[in-house]
């Protein structure tokens, strides 16, 4: 089991550019989550999917953020256009159906927007 795989690990981009973060969940997990971590706000849920369908996107900051899950093995989080305040660590996590389990997190993508 390779775990949850995120790419890239680090991303530095200029303000106004489009950024795409990628995630491959653990095979067989039917929940996928995108979290953002900052010093000020801690860990915030942005959006989560169940069986590839977005269930709750109320945490997505604004229309500049979008997420997709075209199949069970891949998800993207896109920011367009990016702004300096988007700088954070973005985590992807996956989970099986049983709520008794916690999530398995990826290693995160550290995004810096200059």
Partner 1 sequence: AQTVTQSQPEMSVQEAETVTLSCTYDTSESDYYLFWYKQPPSRQMILVIRQEAYKQQNATENRFSVNFQKAAKSFSLKISDSQLGDAAMYFCAYRSTGGSQGNLIFGKGTKLSVKP
Residues of the shown chain interacting with partner 1 in the complex, contacts defined by CB under 8 A: 31, 33, 42-43, 45, 48, 50, 55-56, 89, 91, 93, 95, 99-105, 107-108, 110
Min. distance of Cβ 68 from partner 1 in angstroms? 17
The whole-angstrom separation of Cα 44 and Cα 71 is 24
Which lies closer to partner 1 via its Cβ, residue 93 or residue 113?
A: 93
Query: What number of other Cβ atoms are within 10 A of residue 71's Cβ?
Result: 8
Structure tokens that stand for 47 in this block: 């959006």
Which lies closer to partner 1 via its Cβ, residue 22 or residue 110?
A: 110
Min. distance of Cβ 83 from partner 1 in angstroms? 22
Min. distance of Cβ 71 from partner 1 in angstroms? 19
The counts of H helices and E strands in the chain are: 0, 11
Maximum C-alpha span of the chain: 41
């Amino acid at each position: 089991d390779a775990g949850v795989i995120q790419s890239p690990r680090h991303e530095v981009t200029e303000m106004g550019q489009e950024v795409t973060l990628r995630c491959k969940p653990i095979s067989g997990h039917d929940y996928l989550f995108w979290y953002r971590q900052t010093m000020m706000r801690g860990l915030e849920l942005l959006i989560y999917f169940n069986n590839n369908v977005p269930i709750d996107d109320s945490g997505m900051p604004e229309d500049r953020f979008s997420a997709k899950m075209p199949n069970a093995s891949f998800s993207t989080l896109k920011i367009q256009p990016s702004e300096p305040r988007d700088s954070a660590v973005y985590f992807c996590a996956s989970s099986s159906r049983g709520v008794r389990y916690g999530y398995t997190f990826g290693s995160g993508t550290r995004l810096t927007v200059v």
